[in-house]
Amino acid sequence: MSVTNDGVIWMNGELVERENAKISVLSHGLHYGTGVFEGIRCYKTSKGAAVFRLEEHIKRLLDSAKIMMMRQKYTVSELMTAVLETINANNLEECYIRPIITLGDGGLGIATTDAYPIDVIIAVWQWGAYLGDEALSKGIKVKTSSYTRFNVNSIPIRSKTCGNYVTSVLAKREANISGYDEALFLDTEGYVAEGTGENIFIIKDGILITTPLTSVLKGITRDTVLEIARDLNYTVKEQLFTRDDIYVADEAFFTGTAAEITPISMLDNRLLGTGSIGPITKKIQSAYFGVVNGNNRRYSKWLTVVK
Ligand code: PPE
């Protein structure tokens, strides 16, 4: 995915041309991964461009920052307004939104204090299907990673911290080199955790099962799917399961803002179901796109129209 070169970026309260949106090479965040970020999507709806679950994403961003002991520079409503301003300024109908709060240039060394400078940046760009258009219709091949998802005391799980993503990058690279589309992390006890940037659901005998939140990001798409599935009268469970449970599942899919609802057609060379998108995944996926595209009034509460 390449971020387009034109457009403007919101930086510390101002909209600046991308080429002028710069931070110091001695930023703490660059050296130690001490930043927190979000991934949000804005969809084209009949009412115009609308951001999906904006408030929840901004609240999670500030929760991440709190866990990382970063001083709060902007409020939820200021950041929500800033996101809308940035989309408007870039004149986009549909885009991916990347807010990031990062420790700035206040001297290097591990020690930080509340006085440390903080940079708050919001970038937006067009980002199509995360794992390719075919992934959404046919599913992806996944490999269990040789990397283990974090123990809850190794890294703050509830914080979407930049540094957390190093293992995601390595796991993804490892999977791609081996000919797979995505990697699956197991937790320190060997139970299924999540993808490199997605939560996971399996379906067995008509019941949807997803992992508990212990060692995974508290995904907003995961939460959306839980609500949609209950409304469609499916039984949903949050419980631990193993890779074997996936091998023998009828269907499985990943959820994420970027990945949306991506079916898993194969795990570790075991074909799932028919090896394409399963019937329940298809229903959930089309309900999800109905919700984010503003075609389901029941969920209009989750859409913030840009203008
Ligand atoms: N787990 C991880 C590790 C994760 O990074 C994400 C989002 C999720 C689960 C799903 O969370 P949610 O988006 O709230 O449903 N990953 C973001 C970053 C992806 C990237 O490649 O960058 C995203 O989907 O925006």
Cα gap 283→255, rounded to integer Å: 14
Cα 140 to ligand 1 centre (Å): 17
Position in ligand 1 atom list of the atom nearest CA 224: 15
| Residue with CA at minimum distance from ligand 1 atom 11 | 219
Which one is catalytic: 22, 73, 143, 160?
Answer: 160
Does residue 2 have a pLDDT over 80? Answer: no
Query: Alpha-carbon torsion 153, 61, 31, 113, what sign?
Result: negative
Q: Based on the residue annotation, tell me whether 204 is a catalytic residue of this protein.
A: no
Tens-place pLDDT, residues 93-134: 999 999 999 999 999 999 999 999 999 999 999 998 999 989
Does residue 143 have a pLDDT over 90? Answer: yes
181 lines ligand 1 (CB under 6 A): no
29 lines ligand 1 (CB under 6 A): no
Q: Is 46 exposed, middle or buried (0-12, 13-18, 19+ CB in 10 A)?
A: exposed
217 lines ligand 1 (CB under 6 A): yes
Cα 223 to ligand 1 centre (Å): 13
Does residue 184 have a pLDDT over 90? Answer: yes
Tens-place pLDDT, residues 242-253: 999 999 999 999
Does residue 47 have a pLDDT over 60? Answer: yes
Does residue 291 have a pLDDT over 80? Answer: yes
Q: Region 258-277: what's the mean pLDDT?
A: 96
Q: Region 213-221: what's the mean pLDDT?
A: 97
Q: Whole-structure pTM over 0.75, yes or no?
A: yes
Cα 27 to ligand 1 centre (Å): 24
pLDDT of residue 307: 85
Strands 118-125 and 14-17: unpaired
| Residue with CA at minimum distance from ligand 1 atom 7 | 197
Residues 6+ apart with CB under 8 A from 244: none
Q: Report residue 20 as tokens.
A: 């002028």
Cα 199 to ligand 1 centre (Å): 8
Q: Give φ, ψ of 169 to 5 degrees.
A: -60, -45
219 lines ligand 1 (CB under 6 A): yes
Tens-place pLDDT, residues 75-87: 999 999 999 999 9
User: Which of the four pLDDT bands, split at 50, 70 and 90, describes residue 4?
Assistant: low
* H or E element at residue 17: strand 14-17
